[in-house]
Amino acid sequence: MPSQDDAPTELLLAVGSGNFHKVEEIAAALSGIAGPRGLKIRVLGKSAFPPGPEPLETGATFAENAQIKALSYAGLAAQLPPEKRPFWVLADDSGLSVDALGGAPGVRSARYAGENATDGDNNALLLRNLAQVPQPERGAEFVCSLCLVLVSPKADQPHTVVLEAEGRCRGMILPAQRGSGGFGYDPLFLVPSLGKTFAELSTDEKNALSHRGRALQALRERLPQVLAKLQENP
Instruction: Sketch the domain layout of the chain as residue ranges.
Output: 10-232
Asked whether the beta carbons of 142 and 94 are under 8 A apart, the reply is: yes
pTM for this one?
A: 0.87
Report the topology of domain 10-232: Maf protein (3.90.950)
Query: Nearest-CA neighbor of 206 among 43, 23, 27, 29?
Result: 29
| DSSP structure string for 154-196 | STTS--EEEEEEEEEEEEEE-SS---SSS-TTGGGEEETTTTE
pLDDT for 38 equals 67
Q: Residue 50: CB partners within 8 Å, gap ≥ 6?
A: 76, 79, 80
pLDDT for 134 equals 98
- Pairing type for strands 10-15 and 88-98 reads parallel
Q: Residue 86: CB partners within 8 Å, gap ≥ 6?
A: 12, 13, 14, 44, 48, 77, 80, 151
**Which residue of the set 92, 93, 99, 204 is catalytic?**
93
Asked whether the beta carbons of 100 and 138 are under 8 A apart, the reply is: yes
| DSSP structure string for 99-156 | GGGTT-BGGGGGGTT-TT--HHHHHHHHHHHTTTS-GGG-EEEEEEEEEEEEPPSSTT
pLDDT for 37 equals 63
Rg, the chain, Cα only: 19
Asked whether the beta carbons of 217 and 169 are under 8 A apart, the reply is: no
pLDDT for 8 equals 59
Distance CA 18, CA 91 (A): 11
Asked whether the beta carbons of 179 and 123 are under 8 A apart, the reply is: no
pLDDT for 5 equals 47
The question of whether 6 is a catalytic residue gets the answer: no
Distance CA 219, CA 211 (A): 12
Q: Name all contacts of 192-198 with Cβ < 8 Å and 24+ positions apart.
A: 198/142
- Read off the DSSP letter of residue 31: T
Q: What is the pLDDT along the chain (234 residues), one digit of tens a residue?
A: 444 445 557 889 999 998 887 888 888 888 877 766 667 888 999 999 999 999 999 999 999 999 999 999 999 999 999 989 999 999 999 999 999 999 999 999 999 999 999 999 999 999 999 999 999 999 999 999 999 999 998 767 899 999 999 999 999 999 999 999 988 999 999 999 999 999 999 988 988 899 998 999 999 899 888 887 776 665
